[in-house]
Structure 1
Amino acid sequence: MKHSRKLRQEFGISQPQARPGVTAGVDPETFARGFVRVLGSRFAVDLVEALSWWKPDVVLRESTEYGGYLAAEYLGIPHGALDIAPMAPYGARAVLDELNDQRAVLGLPGVADPLHPLRGFRASVVPEAFHPVEFRIAEGRHYRPPEPVAPEPLDAAVAELPADRPLVLASLGSNAGHLIGDGPSPLDAIIEALGQLPVTAVVALGVGQRPEQWQGPRADNVHLTSFVQQKTLLAATDVFISHCGFNGTCEALTAGVPMIGIPLFAEQPANAARIEQLGAGVRLNVEDLTVDSLSSTLQTVLADATFSARAKGIQRQTLALPPTERLIYDLEKIAS
C-alpha cells in the first residue's frame, strides 16, 4: 500500500474515490497511464531481471497488471491473465497507444490489437455470456468460481430474521464508509427505502460502522450489521443491492440473485450496466438515488420474475463451467 501510494504521488495518478452523489467510472486515459505506463513499465523492468534467472515456463498475471505481459513478451515466455476485471477498458485506443509505447521501450514491435495482452490465455470466473461480444476471444477460458474450504455460517441474528417476506441484502462494500467520505451516504436512502417496503432486509454498513453507533435512519424490518457472510447469505436472498464490485457481482451471478446496482467508482458502473444488459438486474446511478427511486426500482425487480429467471440462467451457465482446478491443466498446455 505504501509503495503504490508513493508511485501515485510520483506520477500524479489519483486514487479512485467515491464521492457523495457522484459516479466515478474508469477513464481509459487514466487507466492507460496508471496501469500500463506507470505500474506496467516499473514492474516490467524488475520482472525482466527476475525472470531472466528464474526462467519460468509460463507467466500468469492479473488482467490489469501489464508488467508481467511486457516482461514475458520481451523474454519470449508464454503468458496468460486471470481476468479480475472483465469490464475494464482493455480495448480503448488510449490503452493500445500506451501499450505500444511501452513495447517500444523494450524494443518490441507494435501491435494493432488492444486485446493482445489477453490473447495468450485469459482465465475468467464468469461465463462467456458476461463478456460483451466484442471482448470474447478464442483464447478465453471460463471456470466456476472456487468454493471456500469452510463456508462461513450465518450469524444467528440473521438466520432468525422473519421468513414471511422477500429477503433483500444491501452492501456497498466493506470499505464503503471510508471511500464515500463526508456527506450523506447512499446507505441512508437505502435503509429508509427498505424500511418502507414489505421486505426483510440486511444492510452491511462496512468496516468501522458499528450498528449501535449508526446515526442514519433505522427501521424495524432492516437488520444493520458491520459485516455479513455475503456469499453464504446470497444463496437465500431474493434481491441484492450492491455497488457492483466484481467480487460481489460474481457471487450474485453464481447464486442466481438479481441485482440493483448502485455503482460508485472504477469498473463498477460498467459491471452494473452489463448486469442490466443481461436482464439480471437494474442499474441505478448514485446521482439518481433517492428513497422513491430505489423503492420503485426494488418493487419492479421483485414483481417481475424475468429478473430472477435471467439471473438463474447465468447461474446455470456458471454451474456448467469446469472447476478452477482445471486452470492448472490448461496452463500446462500453453507452457508446453
Structure 2
Amino acid sequence: MEAGDDSVTVTSSISQLYPVVAAAKLVRMRVLLTSLPIRSHVEPVMVPLATAFREKGHEAVIATAPSGLGPPPSWIPERDGVLKVPPWSGELVVASAANVLDFARTWRPDVILRETSDYGGQIAAEVLGIPHALLDIAPFAPLEIPLLDELVDKVRARFGVGATEPALTAGLTPAFWHPAQHHFHVPIDRDGGGQAEIVASFGAQLTAGSQLRHIVVEALGQVGARSVIAIGHGGWTGPRPSNVRLEPKIPQQRLLGTAKVFVTHAGSSGVREALTAGVPMVAVPLFADQPRNAERIQDLIAGVRVDVKGLTATALAERIQHVLNTSTYHVVAENLAAQIADLEDFTNIPDHLVSAV
C-alpha cells in the first residue's frame, strides 16, 4: 500500500489485498490489524475499526490468513455434543506470526492491533520491536486452552523473543461481562422494522451431516411467533413452517434491533450484538468459548443455555417460549443494553491507541 492511499485493506498475503473504501486524511500512524481467518472475527468489528483509523488520518491494513479453519466433517453437534477442539495450536500461531512478519517487514507498521485469538500479531510485534495492542472481541476464548501462556511462550522461543504487555487492551463489552483496561461499545441499528419476533442464526460452522438448523426451524414453527433464520446457501430439505422465513444470510444486527428473542450458538460477536440490542437469548453452544458465553448469559439472567446433545425441536421450542413469555429476561436485557450504551464508542479506539503508544 502506498502512503496516502485512501482505502483500508484486508490481506491474507502480500499479493492478496481487498479494498474497503474509507476517507483519506493526513497519515499520522501505520496500524496493522491482525485476525484469524474467521468472518465473524473480521467483518463485524475489525473492518469498521480499520475504517475508523483511516477516517482519523492513519493508515490501516487488516492482515489475516487464507480461510481453512472449521470443524471436522464427522462432528454432528446434536449427536456428539460440544466440540472439544482447541482453536489454537503451536503451528497455527507460528504460521500466523510468519504471515504477519512477511507483510510487516515490507509495510513497516508503527503498531500492531490484534484480536483476541490471533497471537501471531503479538509475536510479530515482539519480533519487530514495535508496540502491540489487543482488541478483546472474545474475552473467554483464552480460557479454552489450559497452559495457553506456555504454548505461546514456546512459539516465542522459536522466534527468539520474549513476552511484552499490550500498550492498550480494548474490550467491547462492559465490566459486567469481562474486565478490560478500557471498555467500548459497538453501536447497532435498533430500527429493525419489526420484521421478526425471533431471530435465529448459527453461523457457518455446521457440518453437512448436522440437522441442527432443521431442529431449530421446526422448533420455531411450534412456537408460532414471526421468525427468521439464517440457513446458509444450498438446497433446503427441512421443514417450512408458515411463520418462519428462511434466508441464506440475514442482516443480524438490524433484525436484533426489534427482536424479542435471539436463538444463537453463543458466538462472541452475536452475543455482543444481542446484549447491545437488549434482546434475551436462547443459547445453544457448539464449541470454543461458546459454552462459557452461554453460561454467562444464564448467570446474568439475560437468557438460558440449552445443551445441543440430544436436542429436540419440542425441547427447544419450550425454552424459546419460556424466554419469550418471561418478562424478567427482557427487563434484564434492556438494563444491560443501557449500560452498554453508556460506554465510549469503539471508533474512539484510535485516539486511545495514539495516546498509549
CA distance in structure 2 between the aligned counterparts of 1:130 and 1:261, rounded to whole angstroms: 16
Consecutive unaligned residues of structure 1, counting only runs of 5 or more, are 6-12, 162-166
1:107-145 alpha-carbon deviations (Å, 9 max, x no partner) = 335x6xxxx76x4322222222212xxxx24xx222121
Which letter does structure 2 place at the counterpart of 1:129? F
Deviation at 1:25, TM superposition (A): 4.1
Give, in angstroms, the shift of residue 45 of structure 1. Answer: 4.1
Give the alignment partner of residue 277 of structure 1, picking from 296, 299, 314: 299
Cα deviations across residues 131-170 of structure 1 (Å, max 9, x unaligned)? 2xxxx24xx222121558xx9976xxx84x7xxxxx1122
Select between 324-333 and 13-22 the one with higher mean Cα deviation: 13-22
Alpha carbons of structure 1 residues 20 and 271: separation in structure 2 relative to 1, 3 Å = same
Letter matched to residue 144 of structure 1: H
Paired residue for 1:19, among 44, 68, 76? 76
- The 2-side partners of 1:236 and 1:51 are apart by 43
Q: CA deviation at 1:52?
A: 5.4
CA spacing shift, 1:26–1:48, aligned 2, 3 Å: same
Match in the other structure for 1:205: 231
Question: Paired residue for 2:278, among 253, 256, 259?
Answer: 256
What TM-score do you get using the length of structure 1 for normalisation? 0.75
Higher strand share: 2
Question: Is the contact between residue 26 and residue 88 of structure 1 (CA under 8 Å) also seen in structure 2?
Answer: no
Aligned: 1:181 with 2:208? yes
Q: Which amino acid aligns with 2:171?
A: S
Give the gaps of 5 or more residues in structure 2: 1-10, 14-35, 38-67
Aligned counterpart for 2:254 among listed residues 232, 256, 265: 232
The one-letter code of the counterpart of 1:57 is D
Q: 1:198 to 1:50 in 2, by over 3 A?
A: closer
Verify: 1:130 aligned to 2:183, yes or no. Answer: no
* Distance in 2 (alpha carbons) for counterparts of 1:49 and 1:194: 48
8 Å contact 1:26–1:267 — kept in the other structure? no
Does the 8 A contact of 2:200 with 2:262 survive in 1? yes
Q: Which amino acid aligns with 2:82?
A: A
What is the aligned-residue identity percentage? 35
Change (3 A) 1:192 1:98: same
Q: After the TM superposition, which residues 99-114 of structure 1 pair with which residues of structure 2 at under 5 Å, given as runs?
A: 99-109=152-162
Q: 1:16 to 1:239 in 2, by over 3 A?
A: same
Q: Give CA deviations for 1:255-290 in whole Å, capped at 9, x if unaligned.
A: 100000112233322222221122111111211421
- Relative contact order: is structure 1 or structure 2 higher (C-alpha 8 Å, sep ≥ 6)? 1
The answer as to whether partners of 1:78 and 1:334 remain within 8 angstroms in 2 is no
> Which residue of the other structure, out of 215, 223, 234, is the alignment partner of 2:245?
223
1:292, distance to aligned residue in structure 2 (A) = 2.4
Shift of 1:47: 4.4
Match of 1:81 among 134, 142, 157: 134
Shift of 1:55: 4.7
Q: Secondary structure of 2:176's partner?
A: helix
RMSD: 3.1
Pairing 1:1-336 to 2, within 5 Å after superposition = 15-17=70-72, 19-21=76-78, 22-25=80-83, 27=85, 30-33=86-89, 37-45=90-98, 47-48=100-101, 51=104, 55-90=108-143, 92-109=145-162, 119-131=166-178, 136-137=179-180, 140-147=181-188, 159=195, 167-173=197-203, 175=204, 179-183=206-210, 185-209=211-235, 214-335=236-357
TM-score scaled to structure 2, two decimals? 0.71
